[in-house]
Homo-oligomer: A and B are copies of this chain.
Amino acid sequence: MQRKSKDLLWWPFTQHNLVPVDCVTVIDSRCGESFSAYKVKDNKMMMIPQFDACASWWTQGPDSKLQIELARDMGYAAARYGHVMFPENAHEPALRCAELLLGGIGKDWASRVYYSDNGSTAIEIALKMAFRKFSLDRGILLDSDKSITNERNIQLKVLALKGSYHGDTLGAMEAQAPSAYTSFLQQPWYSGRGLFLDPPTVFIRNGTCALSLPQSIQNCHLSPGDKCFPSLADVFCKSRDSSAAADLYSTYISQQLSEYSVSSNIEHIAALIIEPVIQGAGGMHMIDPLFQRVLVHECRDRKIPVIFDEVFTGFWRLGVESASELLGCLPDVACYAKLMTGGIVPLAATVTTEAVFEAFKSDSKLTALLHGHSYTAHAMGCSAAVKAIQWFRDPSTNSNLDFDRMKLKELWDGTLVNQLSSLPNVKRVVSLGTLCAIELQAEGSDAGYASLYARSLIQQLREEDDIYVRPLGNVIYLMCGPCTTRDVCTEQLSKVYHRISHFNPIH
């Protein structure tokens, strides 16, 4: 199977020349947080459970009990529904899933669910929604039938953060700042249709939680108390809204928006798109939530629709069902995928306010949102989401839920996290909800997405510790499910601590 894989498959995000045939992991099966792979141990071929530390590209949530439940539901949904057409139709799984979404992550703001297949499509749909809403609010589309050609002069742009990543399709890529992913080599059609701001980040180093400001934001007015925090919880504290940092952010954002609108009168910032709190694919950077909150308010003031890309952050990934709870503000449109089905099958949802939905209503089909995928709202995906959403938020099935049931208990041992962050070869740690990310200290050609610096460490973790880690450049991370026990997390984190503290890359 290793040989065949090398000969027939084309893996995503993989340089095939860098994968020796004996490094191909042949997976036999999965059970909850681990999968079983064939490995040679003690000169024998064995099946060894591997802790799936990358949560299979951040999709995974099930413990072994939920996986069994999901399997039963998948068989049932396939037998009962197969797949059936969605537009103008309804079936119970799609409706039930919509109710759970609107009563959960959409509570108090959303009223409509638009289904699609994955994060990228959910984002493209969100952009189309936001642009229509903006255009209507600004009177750009007063006479929609006649305006089709004239308005090509108007250029709608997004406001987004550097280092953010919103998916791999071209529309989603246009909403990210230039990066290794957007080069001509990868995306000959990319132009970067946005104003991309430099965000301040937060991380733990030497046991301290610190704010790091980008060069573009002056920092002479900030006191040490504005830049260091006793714990991560303090970073989320709402009292920071009246701090000097809030003023600094507000000024920076206003200034950037003014400069942009002065420099061009045909370009409009027509949507804000952010990954709330954690920018995933960009390297697991925690953005100062105060900065994002101020940004949302500045956009609200300017009637710019706000999109939260919760494809990675949604469904307890960061310890709460929706990361908007951490930010303390709400979007107009939000995108969910990955963990939504519990990690069993692809499905995405773009969730919106009624005001956004209204922007598409008329008596003509031509103003409807003409976007859809064949398997929209497929019954298996919706059934899985119904089960998973309920499972994660029910204290009788998810013992990690805190007493108030609105957030997960701390899963990564705080002392261990602080010790890790104090190792000389560790640059920063971010630990939140089901995620614990560690950036290794590396310089020059060892830095960046293409770095192979950590290769031997990864190999040790996989081979000797049975932790299946997949790095983002020099960022190594552990990710568990919303129901994974703290004991399991501590066991894995201890192994990683041990490996990193002895890590000495050979050049």
Contacts and interface: CB of A to CB of B under 8 A. Distances in A.
A386 to B, nearest CB: 14
Given A1-B92, A83-B345, A114-B10, A74 B120 contact: no
A27 B77 CA distance: 13
B366 A83 contact: no
Contact of A121 (B25, B169, B344): B169
Contacts of A181: 370
Q: How large is the interface on A (under 10, 10 to 19, 20 to 34, 35 or more residues)?
A: 35 or more
A174 B188 CA distance: 12
Name A's interface SS.
Answer: mixed
Contact of A343 (B72, B82, B369): B82
B113 A8 contact: yes
A52 B14 contact: no
Given A26-B90, A71-B75, A380-B345, A373 B12 contact: yes
Contacts of A14: 87-88, 368
A400 interface: no
Interface string A72-116: 101111111111111111111011001100100000000111111
A128 interface: yes
Given A84-B56, A132-B185, A112 B375 contact: no
A470 interface: yes
A499 B24 CA distance: 59
A216 interface: no
A117 interface: yes
A88 B128 CA distance: 35
Interface string A176-211: 000011011111110001000000000000000000
A79 B68 contact: yes
B121 A81 contact: no
A218 interface: no
B82 A344 contact: yes
A184 B152 contact: yes
Given A170-B174, A171-B169, A372-B168, A95 B450 contact: no
B147 A184 contact: yes
Interface in A356-408: 357, 360-376, 378, 380-381
A68 to B, nearest CB: 7
A59, A82, A343: most-surrounded residue (chain B CB, <10 A): A82
Interface string A125-166: 000100110010000010010011101101110000000000
A333 to B, nearest CB: 11
A433 interface: no
A415 to B, nearest CB: 30
Nearest to A23: B88
Contacts of A497: none
A62 B82 contact: yes
A419 B169 CA distance: 45
Interface string A30-41: 100001000000
Given A26-B90, A75-B76, A180-B366, 16 more contacts: A4-B99, A8-B99, A12-B116, A17-B361, A52-B84, A60-B83, A71-B82, A87-B470, A120-B121, A121-B168, A124-B170, A147-B185, A148-B184, A151-B184, A169-B170, A365-B450
